[in-house]
Copies of this chain bind each other. A is one copy, B any other.
Amino acid sequence: MTDSQLKELNDIDQMVCQWLEELMHQARELVQSHVDVQNKDGNARNLVTNVDRENECWLDQKIRTFNPHAKIISEEGFGDHLVDMDGDVWFVDPIDGTMNFVHEHTDFAIMVALYRDGKPLLGWIADVMGNDIHHGGPAIGVQINQQKVPATPDVVLSQSILMLSGRCLVAGDYGYKTLAQKALAFRVIGSAGIAFSYLLKGQVNGYVSKLMPWDVAAGRVLAESLGFIVTNLDGQALNMLSSNTVLVATYSTHHEIVTMLKG
């Protein structure tokens, strides 16, 4: 990568960090005030708020102002409908963990990612109440705020703490119960962004959940940059245009899980 390419990435990284600082500040003010909550499909577990919509609208506009040719995949309908990953594709999750935002007032995130011709380039996860921005990518490394994050040590499954989707576990989705039993321990936190934050900080060693593209795009960029393997539960590459059952783990744990669940 040339110096000017690196400079471009660093400039974009800093620009998006500034956007997220602004949104985090707003969201912290809003979390204690009245938020307009709606069930997305008559399902009390699938929530959307005015904050989700306003954040997405604001971020999508910022991206389109920066690059009018950018394509955007985002959760609440302000993005584009894409059929391929050609060119610059941005992913936006305006509030990840909306149930936590509404009910817990903690453990929610704002996420943005940039892919170029299908390749993960940059990712950002803002842990709003923790006031931490996780950002970077394979070329520029990963930082939490200003602090460089080291590569993940390799850990085997029996010594791994896994983040699992509680909903998938209790629905009996394939593999989850086995993973919950075989891992050293498992945790359920209710937000993909916060699950990735635990991973990036080295607090847990793997994460398995059914995720939409905007739930996984940023976390994938950052986790891969630290040496985590990110695939679907069969060990196949993710399709960034559809939902996937996502497996993120250290090399050894990833290999054990894929082998075990195939066997």
Contact = CB atoms under 8 A, between A and B. Distances in A.
Interface of A: 44-45, 99, 103-107, 158-159, 161, 166-167, 169-170, 177, 180-181, 184-190, 198, 201-204
A106 B103 CA distance: 22
A103 B190 CA distance: 20
A129 to B, nearest CB: 10
Interface of A is mostly: mixed
Contact of A189 (B170, B180, B184, B187): B187
Contacts of A204: 104
B187 A190 contact: yes
A166 B187 contact: yes
A44 B166 contact: no
A222 to B, nearest CB: 18
Contacts of A106: 201, 203
Contact of A190 (B99, B185, B201): B185
A45 B184 contact: yes
Nearest to A163: B188
6 contacts: A45-B185, A103-B184, A103-B185, A104-B198, A166-B188, A169-B180
